[in-house]
Amino acid sequence: MRSVKTSLTGIKPTNTPHLGNYLGAIRPALKLAETYRSLYFIADYHALTTMRDPAALQESIYDVAATWLAAGLDPNQTILFRQSAVPEVFELSWVLSCLLATGQLERGHSYKDALAKGDVPNAGVFYYPVLMAADILLYDTDVVPVGKDQKQHVELCRDVAQRVNHVFGEDTLVVPEVHVGDAPLVPGIDGEKMSKSRGNGIPLFAPAKKLRKVVMSIKTGSESLEEPKEPEGSTVYQLCKQVSPEAAEAMATELRKGGYGWGHAKQALFEALEAELGPRRDVYQAMRADTPALDRILDQGADRARAIAHKTIGRVRHAVGISATSSADLKKTVRLKPQVG
């Protein structure tokens, strides 16, 4: 039916994207964009589960947009847009929520983690996976490139899409596949999962001096310079392996030989990062400074995204029996089976 497959992913504008976002989501997504129709968006309404500062949210939206572009996204090929520019996503999320058992949301890891920490999560945290499923299903997505931490959300999306299709007709929604690399989650400078909220990130487009300072602050062992060292299990080596496997191999050989300190390893990692990110830094700065140009790109992307969304939402309304359709059309729709409650 559809000749070109679709890849879609979103990034929350909760801060400036870090190396984990780049290696876990942005780089693989850009690789897929070479062969798939691609829609990459800024999940601004998802950010509202935590963000309370409108000015900071606005700035982060531009940070994420400029990051995608500096990382190599071609806005003529890939549809880059704000989630909020296509409000049909809320209409679809309501339909999906009517097909989902609350228990499935209770098992959501972000929600469970928040409860385990003794937090009182807002309802947005609970509902988060439904909105994410709607993001994916609204655009007939075939593949969702995300980091490992998002796998559960995509699985829930698959479940609910299958359920909709079972109840309302097999052609209602496209059931997506998750695309997660083999690499483990990218560790932060403290060795824990790199995360915006943890403040352990390696910034993507900070000036070289700042980048080097952050790299030099990565936690390492305390062996002497002369001692041979085991690379596996060290954060510096883990990071290097994901940035540049060749540089990591050379680093591992040197560490095992001895006479090579953790400081040398960090310098090697810094150089690998510079080779990957250095050339993109100026592009980032130029794009980030030109917010009218970013708005134009995001608005054009939203127009293209909306055209796809309208078709899906029309199909869904028709399937569930809400659109004003002719009686002949209605006869063709599948009746709701009374099994949800």
Nearer to ligand ADP, 21 or 234 (CB): 21
Pick what 14 binds: ligand TRP, ligand ADP, none; C-beta below 5 to 8 Å, kind-dependent.
ligand ADP
Nearest residue relative to ligand TRP (C-beta): 10
Q: Is 24 in the site for ligand TRP (CB under 6 A)?
A: no
Considering only residues 133 to 192 of the shown chain, the ones binding ligand ADP according to CB under 6 A are 146-147, 149-150, 185-186
Q: In what order do the strands lie in the sheet with 143-145?
A: 79-82, 37-42, 6-11, 143-145, 177-179
Task: Output 16 or 234, the one with its CB closest to ligand TRP.
Answer: 16
The CB-of-199 to ligand TRP minimum distance in angstroms stands at 17
CB of 274 to ligand TRP, least distance (A): 26
Taking residue 285's Cβ as centre, other Cβ atoms within 10 Å add up to 14
Identify what 327 binds: ligand ADP, ligand TRP, none; CB under 5 to 8 Å per kind. none
Binding partner of residue 186 among ligand TRP, ligand ADP, none, CB cut-off 5 to 8 Å per kind: ligand ADP
Cα 160 from Cα 17, distance rounded (Å): 30
Contact predicate 309/301, CB 8 Å: no
Residue 36 three-state SS: coil
Report the distance separating Cα 193 and Cα 178, nearest Å. Answer: 20
Q: What is each CA distance from 139 to 9, 89, 227, 304, in whole angstroms?
A: 11, 10, 55, 11
The single residue listed with the structure tokens 């030989």 is: 257
Closest approach, Cβ 110 to ligand TRP, in A, equals 8
Among ligand ADP, ligand TRP, none, partner that 7 touches (CB below 5 to 8 angstroms by kind): none
Tell me the Cα Rg of the chain.
22
Residue 84 near which of ligand ADP, ligand TRP, none (CB within 5-8 Å, type-dependent): none
Residue 136 touches which of ligand ADP, ligand TRP, none (Cβ within 5-8 Å per kind)? ligand TRP
Beta-strand relationship, 37-42 and 143-145: unpaired
Which H or E run contains 34? Answer: none
Under rule CB under 6 A, which residues in 18-37 are in contact with ligand ADP?
Answer: 20-21, 23-25
3-class secondary structure, 242: helix
Nearest partner of 108 among 155, 141, 148, judged by Cα: 155
Q: Which of 136, 160, 211, 252 binds ligand TRP (CB under 6 A)?
A: 136
**Where do contacts with ligand TRP occur on this chain (CB under 6 A)?**
8-10, 12, 43, 46, 132, 135-136, 144, 146, 150, 153
